Amino acid sequence: MKEDYKVNPELLHHETGSGRKLLPVWVAFVPLVILVGLLVFVISAFGSDALSGASQIALLTTSAFCVLIGLMLKTMHWSDFEQAVNENVSGVAQAILILLLIGAVGGSWMVSGIVPTMIYYGMQLIDPQWFLVSSCAICAFISVMTGSSWTTIATIGIALMGIGKAQGFAEGWIAGAIISGAYFGDKISPMSETTVLAASTTRTPLFTHIRYMTYTTVPSFVITLTVFAIAGLMHQESSAQSMGEFTDGLQRVFVISPWLMLVPLVTALMIARKLPAVVILFVATVLASMAAILVQTDLVDQIAADDLGVWMNRFKGVMILVYGSTSLDTGVPALNELVATRGMSGMMSTVWLIFCAMIFGASMSAAGMIESIMRMFIRLAHNTFSLVASTVGVGLFMNIVCADQYLSLILTGNMFRDTYKKLGFESRLLSRTTEDAVTVTSVLIPWNSCGMTQSMVLGVSTLVYFPYCFFNYLSPVMTLIVAALGFRIFRTGSGDADKDNKTIGN
């Protein structure tokens, strides 16, 4: 039987503890309207180069409007803004370090021949008709084991991009399969930081949270695999000549050797030992750099392009492939683009964008705009479905405004925790809804730290892969469907089954 509990509006007045004057909701939405308008002009004018600086200026300009509105309406002081900026920026410090190391891994694993070797053998082992569904499943498995979508995409994801392009798939489809699988694991793995954070913020036992998520996560993933399987079967296989050009181009430039797979193997062992992501990425970079010197000696010397002596040349070449850009001529234009690297320096525009996004989130928070909008969502909750829908709405809104999934998880969980408790719902409903709304959708937002990172790592614009990340937007839809059906919606205490359609608190 469908459970649909009506809510007493008096129970929905959630106190945040700030005690400050709140802005009218329409005023709080003004900066968002300005930001959307500016981004429309930026994307129209700069296209794929929008993230190289223009989007950052749009975020800073909108931040200035937020601060101006807050100061004029006296909902904040300048010190409030400074404090919010300090808290937001410090909160993403580790993410920025990981992002820089991902750039280093990308450069070192490519030039050392690790990724080219994976692409070379992968093209021979993976049937093109099953490539999309295989990519999704492989990334899901690795992400469940690692608990990290970022690490999965930065390693096996890059290799799968190369295999998919060689087999003639559009980059949006390839990236969609990789991201869908990686974020399935990120969401369901007990080693995932977002999974642990969603459970701890809502005060839900970790494995209770994970088991409850299967009601929405498994159906979403099954549908996703089905879509990719059908799309793969309908794919027109790339010609043998095209595949041959890729393999010949790789062999022309790189030494292809199965011994290079020792580096991914050691990386996998470190992951199995549950070492910190920073340690894993750093060691993976060092090992790949050593492999580059030993196996791809000519390439390292070519990158150095200097006459400083044998070992100084190789030292310079390794430093460049880790921090700088490399461009190698394979004789195949499409392959040249694939094996080009940006290193750590290639991540700087993304780091810049993250800083600007954090400043925008800080200005919205300091001015009280986030609080006003979240209270509006809570007041819209009148029954089980609308409460869950309000939570999804706040989670998506926080991802857009705060541009950071960790901050969004914390704020959404904290905002609704007392409300769910007062209404008699078990905390696992909130923890599942929060993760369904926040963790997987962060990668779909161009200026969110996840969206920026995966776009940069895979070399595919967020707007290009967005339509194909089926799992990522099916998850919040599925949580709404389950809530509307009232399936497995648990309440605290006993004797609640007879409270269907009865007003709570009366």
Q: What is the CA radius of gyration of the chain?
A: 24
Residue bearing tokens 């992002």? 99
Provide the pLDDT for residue 287.
Answer: 93
Please give the model's pTM, rounded to 2 decimal places: 0.70
Q: What string of DSSP letters covers 326-362? A: B----S-HHHHHHH-B-TTGGGHHHHHHHHHHHHHHH
CB 232 within 8 A of CB 132: yes
> Is residue 491 classed as helix, strand or coil in its secondary structure?
strand
Looking at the DSSP bridge assignments, the partners of residue 425 are 491
Q: How far apart are CA 469 and CA 149, in angstroms?
A: 14
Partnered with residue 451 across adjacent β-strands are: none
Q: What is the pLDDT of residue 19?
A: 55
Q: How far is CA 212 from the centre of its chain?
A: 22
**Digit-coded pLDDT (tens) for 329-362:** 777 776 777 777 788 888 787 788 778 877 887 8
Spell out the residues 6+ positions from residue 472 whose beta carbon is closer than 8 angstroms to its own. 179, 180, 183, 440, 441, 443, 444
| pLDDT computed for residue 242 by the predictor | 61
Residues of the chain with pLDDT under 50: 1-18, 494-506
Separation of alpha carbons 416 and 430, rounded Å: 8
pLDDT at position 238, please? 57
Closest C-alpha to 277, from 380, 192, 365:
192
Q: d(Cα 473, Cα 488) in Å, to the nearest integer?
A: 22
Rounded-to-integer distance, Cα 198 and Cα 395, Å: 12
SS3 call for 437: helix
Q: How many CB atoms lie within 10 A of CB 348?
A: 13
Q: Which of 401, 455, 388 is nearest to 428 (CA)?
A: 388
Q: CA distances (Å), 21 to each of 62, 74, 366, 457, in order?
A: 22, 8, 12, 43
DSSP 13: -
Which among 282, 286, 322 is positioned nearest to 304, based on CA atoms? 322
pLDDT at 120: 82
Q: What angle do CA 160, 161, 163 make, to 5 degrees?
A: 60
Predicted confidence (pLDDT) per residue in 184-213, tens digit: 988 888 767 788 778 877 888 888 888 899
Identify the CA nearest to 152 among candidates 450, 481, 468.
Answer: 450
What CA–CA distance (Å, rounded) separates 386 from 377? 9
Rounded to an integer, what distance in angstroms lies between the CA atom of residue 167 and that of residue 83? 51
Token pair in block for residue 151: 């690490």
What does the pLDDT read at residue 479? 94
List beta partners, residue 326: 341
φ, ψ (nearest 5 deg) of residue 461: -60, 145
